[in-house]
Amino acid sequence: MNKKKSTNKIVALLLLAPALIVMLGAFVLPMAYIFMLSFQQDNVSFTFENYTSLLKDPYYYEIMWRTIKISLMTVISCLLLGYPVAMYMAKATPKMRGFITFLIISPHLISVVIRNFGWVVILGQKGFVNNTLMKLGVIDEPLRLLYNELGVVIGLTDSLIVYMILGIATSLYTIDQSLYKASGILGASAARSFFSVTLPLSLPGIIAGTTLVFSLSMSSFVTPALMGGTSVKVMPVIAYEKIMATLDWSLGAALSFILLACTLGLVTLFTKLVETKRYKEVFSS
């Protein structure tokens, strides 16, 4: 019996070996090298100077806060726009559900750079939105929809809403339809059924979608660079500029790990708060 278990373990390790090698070579080792690089400065092999200089500068606190704010705004917009779509998918027929899933995923077969340039054409001062509003007499002069935080949020929402929709829809698929019948028999209205049945049971999907959207928003570079321009600086853009423009690899590496630590900390805090609240609700009931 023990021999069979050991054989199964060896087989499992052999099956996992290719994926582990790829992860080690493409992710773990480069991250370890960048982490070590963040502690080097001016030929000094180990120093905290990069981190202390960043933490003492109010400029980087402002950049970090802007990055967090844009990420939170993206999460909220994805949640508000994605939840109704996920609910419709949950109530649709399997054929229609597959068609909607195709419509949601198909834009992501195109490069994010091309999609962002498409938004530049649509939201520019002489773009489709401003031209239409001016022809209708709604506005007298073009609105500034690009190269600000609003433009970045629009671009990130377009790129990341798919994760929110699919995460929520996955939770909605598992809800027993008899619960809605039971709530109706007990006299609950459609709104009461939503807040008492649908919303609580879809919370795992909301948490998953929120975590993915927030994490990807915090680390997004292409969309803030193209749709934010020089007026909207976020942490990934600043880290890129430090590495590629000023060739300060050590400071750029330190910025990257500060961003990583902040993202992991906020996501962990959010997850713990939600899980604690859910535990208390279940325990009290």
* Residue spans per domain, the chain: 1-37, 51-284
Q: What is the pLDDT of residues 113-122, one digit of tens each?
A: 999 999 988 9
CB atoms within 10 A of CB 15: 10
* Separation CA 277–CA 154 (nearest Å): 31
Q: What is the pLDDT of residue 278?
A: 56
Q: What is the pLDDT of residue 284?
A: 47
Topology given in CATH for the domain delimited by 51-284: MetI-like fold (1.10.3720)
Q: What percent of the chain has pLDDT over 70?
A: 94
**Residue recorded with tokens 């809800």:** 175
Q: What is the pLDDT of residues 95-142, one digit of tens each?
A: 998 899 999 998 888 888 999 999 988 998 888 899 998 988 888 888
Q: Angle at Cα 58 formed by Cα 55 and Cα 63, nearest 5°?
A: 90
* Separation CA 20–CA 18 (nearest Å): 5
